[in-house]
Structure 1
Amino acid sequence: KNNIYIEVADNGCGMDGDILKQIFDPFFTTKPVGQGTGMGMAIVYNILKEHNGTIEVESELGKGSLIRCVIPISTKCM
């Protein structure tokens, strides 16, 4: 099966298990009040879901994170 892969990686502080469990929850943010809406990852998750895609997250504290979006290629004409 053919897919499109989009990966975004950083070398930031990474995320622990408690944060990873919540990153796709609407309105979840680690930013201070007034600096983040917490909707970005929830929106990405729902867009991928609508297109039968998936999102994978790898993260290690102190080393950074990798977000991988997998979107199936459709050859069906509409």
Structure 2
Amino acid sequence: PLKSENQIEIAQSDPGRFSNLPPWAERDNKNDEDQRKEAIRVVSENAEWICRVSQHHNVTPDAIAGAILWEGIENP
């Protein structure tokens, strides 16, 4: 189908990228592994801030941390 001016295109994750590995499992691909480590570092170093923000917005800190980890680990 042709795109219409009224349609909105939504960016989605590439299902072919999903590792089906737990966050603590090392990745074979160096870039993926570097991004996994960076995502874990970001969450660890910002844990207190994540907790404060989660209370302010009435969201569980796990949801915020999980979103950060998901983007860094499964959708690099």
TM-score, normalised via structure 1 length: 0.33
**Relative CO higher for 1 or 2, CA cutoff 8 Å, sep ≥ 6?**
1
Q: Which has the higher strand share?
A: 1
Greater gyration radius: 2
TM score, norm. by length of structure 2: 0.33
Q: Which has the higher helix share?
A: 2
